Amino acid sequence: MKPKTNLDYVVLYARALRENNKLFEQQKKLIEAQLIGSKSLFRKMFGSGEKFKIGARKYLRGRGLIK
Amino acid sequence: MIKKGYILEGDVIVVDRDWTELDEFVKDFLGILKDYSDYLIVSGFVSIATGRTRGTEDVDILVPVMDENKFRDLFSELSKKDFWCYQGDEVDEVYGYLQRIENIRFARKNEMFPNIEFIPINKNRKAKYFEFTHSQRIKIKDFEFKIPPIEFEILYKEIILAGDKDIADARHLREFFADILSKEKFKEYEPIIREELK
């Protein structure tokens, strides 16, 4: 199957992963890169401790994620 | 030597990979929660834990509504172990969400994402209660946790959630677990899930 759509790639990757667990190494890198980026961004935005919570809650209210 | 992505050990799915930071976050949270309540991990983390390569902000966990004293102890323990709750620092205020069957979220202190979406359930939430009482065990190294039956998770994503991300997650699960999926289970679960649309 020659992949054409995003879903085709999802299927192709899942099939390859089922047969070869080495591909999990790439997945780990991608997931951790996202987490590191997110941590760094929000630390810069809101600092730490109580200041972080106040800033974060204000941001979350703005996005409608909390009341 | 090439090794498969997962194997079955009895009725436990064993995914053959190293932990990610996301796994460690979930493991730490469950390490506390399990002392106070049963649980079920659902949705995106099920797909990601089994190889779907995409980012996520939250990990959805179903938890039966617990009494206030037990929640008070859980909340205090989470706070001691460096988690904070989006909805508030006062347990009385946060418990009100659970009484109203509204979700709450926890993240590590000084972090926003990833977070645990703590989803209170009771018997009135029939599809959720069904998957909660029919869990599948899955293991990554020695981190074992409970997820819905894979067939249930696939159908829930295809029928109820049905966004692009959910359809892609479902396709991933269908392909990755192609060797073990059961047609009979799909048939059994579909009407239960469709009930949720009514």
Query: Quick one: three-class SS letters along B30-81?
Result: HHHHCCCCCCEEECHHHHHHCCCCCCCCEEEEEEECCCHHHHHHHHHHHHHC
> Which residue in the set B6, B21, B172 is minimally distant from A35, CB to CB?
B21
The pair of three-digit structure tokens given for residue B79, joined into one six-digit string: 């706070």
Non-local (6+) Cβ contacts of B81 within 8 A are: B28, B32
Task: Flag if B175 and A11 touch (Cβ within 8 Å).
Answer: yes
Average pLDDT over residues B76-82: 97
Task: Provide the whole-model pTM.
Answer: 0.95
Task: Flag if B113 and A42 touch (Cβ within 8 Å).
Answer: yes
Q: What is the pLDDT of residue B12?
A: 98
State the pLDDT confidence band at A1, using cuts at 50, 70 and 90: low
Residue B134 pLDDT exceeds 70: yes
> Which residue in the set A28, A46, A57 is minimally distant from B86, CB to CB?
A57
Q: What is the DSSP letter of B7?
A: E
Cα B115 from Cα B120, distance rounded (Å): 16
Chain A contact for B112 (CB, 8 A cutoff): yes
- The angle subtended at Cα B165 by Cα B115 and Cα B169, nearest 5°, is 90
Chain A contact for B100 (CB, 8 A cutoff): no
The pair of three-digit structure tokens given for residue B58, joined into one six-digit string: 């939250």
- The interface pTM score, or ipTM, of the predicted complex is 0.92
Handedness of CA B58, B62, B68, B73 (dihedral sign): negative
Residue B51 pLDDT exceeds 80: yes
| More confident site: B183 or B57 | B183
Q: What is the pLDDT of residue B178?
A: 97
Chain A contact for B20 (CB, 8 A cutoff): yes
Residue B198 pLDDT exceeds 90: no
Task: Give me the count of residues in chain A.
Answer: 67
> Which residue in the set A6, A21, A48 is minimally distant from B17, CB to CB?
A21
Average pLDDT over residues B9-25: 96
Facing residues of B60 across strands? Answer: B42, B117
> What SS3 state is found at B102?
coil
State the pLDDT confidence band at B55, using cuts at 50, 70 and 90: confident
H-run or E-run covering B23: helix B21-33
Chain A contact for B45 (CB, 8 A cutoff): no
Chain A contact for B84 (CB, 8 A cutoff): yes
Phi, psi of A22 (to 5 degrees): -60, -30
